Chain A
Amino acid sequence: MFAGFMMNTWAVATIVAPVAGVVGFFVVLRGSAFPAHAIPKGAFAGAAGASLLGISTLAGLAVFSLLGALGIGALGRRSRHDVATALALVMMLALGAAFLSRTTEYEPEIYSLLFGEVLGVSTTELLPVAALGAVCIAAVIILYRPLMLSSVVPEIADAKGIGSHRMEICFLIVVALATAMTVPVVGALLIFSLMIGPPAAARSLTSRPALAMLLSVAIALLTVWAAIAASYTWNWPVGFFVGALGALSYGAGRAWAAWRHTRTTTPAAPAAPQRLAAAVDRT
């Protein structure tokens, strides 16, 4: 499985996984699981349309994922975030359906866009993917402090002049870029599995951010490498293994946390009336 044509696949996977691990750390921290799913899915609609119109799929991916990020951000100004995400998603999918209706051909490429394709990575894809990945990681490094503040303590961030809405848009754009670059191997539908499973597992193991991010990258790398190896060996889609391994790592993380929890004494939870009073105070 390390023959010449597979080296591209390993290379792309090794670029994709760290980006997924780093961006995914914030996805989990901010509870942005839905946008992390919706942006790639909506982007797929654009990519499918682009491929059927003869334009580069990467361009279609990038445009639609940015469109999705900005759409979710714009709608989210005055609506619940999950409603905004759902509506932006279905609107993009509906546009994708409209594009696909322009032709009656069936493209096998659509399957690999959705679920990933171990054998389908060409050398020309490596450079743009690596470039986008570098941009993503650079963005996270630059935005690290304000992003952490607005994710963990939004009120303090607001007091410091870091608008939570602006940070949300910036973060969604980073997710959009990460989406566009990671689709070739893993596929649009499963990139978010890489952005949720490994970081969630990492956070179950430690609460220190830097360590959690490193662990997240490590687990993501292991996941995607194992998925490629398994897909190569048994011929089943790589996406299946990514989804399964993502769930396994999350489950293992939860199990570990639960086991640790039972071994240490836990402080009593605050009494119900106090929580209710706090809830009333917040509304």
Chain B
Amino acid sequence: MHQLWTQIFEPGFFSSAPVHTAAAVGAAVAVVSAVTGVFTVMRGQSFGGHALGDVSAAGGSGALLIGLTPVVGFVGLGIIGAGVMDMIGVRRVRGRDLATGIVLGAAIGLSALFLYLDTTAGATTGATQQILFGSIFTTAGGTIPAVAIFGAIALACVAVTWRPLLLSTVSTDMAAARGVPVRLVGLLYMLALALSVGLSSVAVGAILSTALLIGPAATALRLTRTVGWAVAAACLIGVGATWLGILLAYDSYYWGSAHLGLPVSFFIVAVVFAAYLLSGLPAARTAAGRRGASTSLAAAPADEQIRA
């Protein structure tokens, strides 16, 4: 029994300080990401959520360049980017995705410039890799208060606008007819998204930022149609995947003879991805039963549908 325990929880896991930090930061990020993520998936703004991660990263490398703490850059440029996307975006989904893409392209161009200036002026080799593949285990201690504060603000934004946001997500026309300030609510949502993505990018890296935003939320929305339950489920799945990923990453150093281990972002994403695939199994079984009657029209998603 003891051997099984040490097989699963390799020695030193529960007493390791980096693991504690990673678990705390990861859980906080997972919860904030899950809440904003549910609305992101419902509003069909997964691209925006991902794009803001790259925009934030540009802000991070820019902040490094002028000597500010990266958090300021991540959140600052994220908010500016979200504002610009909202301003030039149009209501039609395709136009909005184009606007997102343009802002993203400009931000990545800035990233290229900042990283180039960083590496020629400073000594940050591997900055490129760090920005793209940043790791939860290398989270600086100073980011924890920032994660807590900005995370709380993002959650507050969503809580305050819950009903109008939900209404304008389901149908912008009905919301407008009921007097909901649709554009203002949309802008507040984008700000919450920018905060959430900014802090998750700096805390856990660009890959996990998108994965924790979209994955658990999409899985939860497949399991339930009620938004409240979806948010709760997404939080559970997100935190569970994060902690399981941390555990697997810690254990992976004991696998094989090379003792190199695999990055924690790989494990967390793998768990999130697996959870999403598993949640699709019940639907796949019913679809197989109805295979003769299915049409390709049914498989094409409409812009307005809420479907994960």
Q: Does A196 contact B (CB under 8 A)?
A: yes
- Residues on A with beta carbons closer than 8 Å to the beta carbon of B233: none
Measured in the bound complex, the distance between the Cα atoms of B125 and A239 in whole Å is: 19
CB distance from B222 to the nearest CB of A (A): 8
Q: Which residue of B lies closest to A203 (CB)?
A: B98
Least Cβ distance of B308 to chain A in Å?
6
Give Cα distance in the complex from A275 to B303, angstroms.
Answer: 14
Option from A80, A90, A250 in Cβ contact (under 8 Å) with B211: A90
Cross-chain contact A283 with B280 (CB below 8 angstroms): no
The CA of A197 and the CA of B276, in the complex, are separated in Å by 33
Is B19's CB within 8 Å of the partner chain A?
A: no
B278 at interface (Cβ–Cβ under 8 A)? no
Contact of B301 among A81, A85, A106, A276 (CB under 8 A): A81
Answer whether residue A213 sits at the interface, using C-beta atoms and an 8 A cutoff: no
Select the residue from A116, A164, A247 with max chain B CB neighbours within 10 A.
Answer: A247
A80–B308 touching, CB < 8 Å: yes
18 pairs, A vs B, C-beta closer than 8 Å: A77-B299, A80-B301, A83-B41, A86-B210, A87-B273, A90-B210, A90-B214, A91-B270, A93-B207, A94-B266, A95-B266, A97-B133, A110-B128, A111-B116, A247-B109, A250-B98, A282-B304, A283-B302
Asked if A216 is an interface residue, CB under 8 A from chain B, the answer is no
Distance of A212 from chain B, by nearest CB (Å): 14
The reply to whether A190 and B46 form a contact with Cβ atoms under 8 Å apart is: no
Select A34's contact among B46, B173, B263, beta carbons within 8 Å: B46
Bound Cα distance A237, B116 (Å): 7
Query: Interface of chain A, helix or strand or loop or mixed?
Result: helix
Cβ of A241 under 8 Å from chain B: yes
Are A272 and B176 closer than 8 Å at their CB atoms? Answer: yes
Decide if A243 touches B108 in the complex (CB within 8 Å): yes
Closest 7 CB pairs of A and B: A243-B109, A31-B94, A193-B105, A94-B269, A33-B101, A82-B46, A115-B112
Given contacts A83-B218, A85-B46, A246-B106, are A98 and B266 in contact (CB under 8 A)? yes
Which residue of chain A lies nearest to B268 when distances are taken between CB atoms in the complex?
A94
Chain A positions within 8 Å of B, measured between CB atoms, are 28, 31, 33-34, 36-38, 77-83, 85-87, 89-91, 93-98, 100-102, 106, 110-111, 114-116, 154-155, 158, 163-165, 187, 189-190, 192-193, 196-197, 200, 236-237, 239-244, 246-247, 250-251, 254, 272, 275-276, 279, 282-283
Q: Is B300 an interface residue (CB 8 A)?
A: yes
With a cutoff of 8 Å between Cβ atoms, the chain B residues found around residue A87 in the complex are 211, 214-215, 218, 272-273, 276
Please, which residue of chain B has its CB at the minimum distance from the CB of A110? B128
A248 vs chain B, min Cβ distance (A):
9
Instruction: Please determine whether A33 and B214 come into contact, CB atoms closer than 8 angstroms.
Output: no
Contact with A along B107-138 (1 / 0, CB 8 A): 11111110110010000011011001100000
Q: Are B113 and A240 in contact (CB under 8 A)?
A: yes
Given A94-B263, A164-B297, A243-B110, 11 other A-B residues pairs in contact with their CB atoms under 8 A: A38-B50, A79-B280, A89-B210, A93-B207, A94-B268, A158-B296, A239-B109, A243-B105, A247-B102, A247-B106, A272-B173
Q: Are A276 and B133 in contact (CB under 8 A)?
A: no
Within 8 A of A (CB), among B283-304: 283-284, 287, 295-297, 299-302, 304
Contacts of B262 in A (CB 8 A): 98, 101
Cα A34 to Cα B94 with chains together (Å): 10
The verdict on B4 contacting chain A, using a C-beta distance below 8 Å, is no
Say how far B14's CB is from chain A's closest CB, in angstroms. Answer: 24
Given A86-B50, A115-B112, A190-B112, the answer on whether A37 and B104 have CB atoms closer than 8 Å is: yes
Q: Is there an interface contact between A80 and B41, defined as CB atoms closer than 8 Å?
A: yes
The distance from the CB of B22 to the nearest CB of chain A, in whole angstroms, is 16
Whose C-beta in chain A lies nearest to the C-beta of B104? Answer: A37
Neighbouring A residues of B283 by C-beta, 8 Å: 78
Q: Which residue of the partner chain A has the closest CB to B258?
A: A102
Please tell me the size bucket of the interface on B: 35 or more
Q: Are B98 and A101 in contact (CB under 8 A)?
A: no
CB distance from B273 to the nearest CB of A (A): 5
In the complex, the answer to whether B299 meets A111 with C-beta atoms within 8 Å is: no
Minimum CB–CB distance from B44 to chain A (whole Å) comes to: 6
For A247, the chain B residues whose CB sits under 8 A away are: 102-103, 105-106, 109
Residue in chain A with minimal CB distance to B213: A86
State the Cβ distance, A195 to closest chain B Cβ, in Å. Answer: 9
B47 within 8 A of A: yes
Q: Is the CB of B106 within 8 A of A272?
A: no
B53 shortest CB reach to chain A, Å? 10
A106 and B126 in contact (CB under 8 A), knowing A82-B47, A97-B266?
A: yes
Determine the distance from Cα of A246 to Cα of B297 in the docked complex, in whole angstroms.
Answer: 35
Bound CA–CA A227/B110 (angstroms): 14
Nearest-CB residue, chain A, relative to B44: A82
B305 in contact (CB, < 8 A): yes
* Shortest Cβ gap from A153 to chain B (Å): 12
B177 contacts partner chain A, Cβ-Cβ < 8 Å: yes
Which residue from A78, A91, A114 sits with its C-beta under 8 Å from B273? A91
Cβ of B177 and Cβ of A236 under 8 Å apart? no
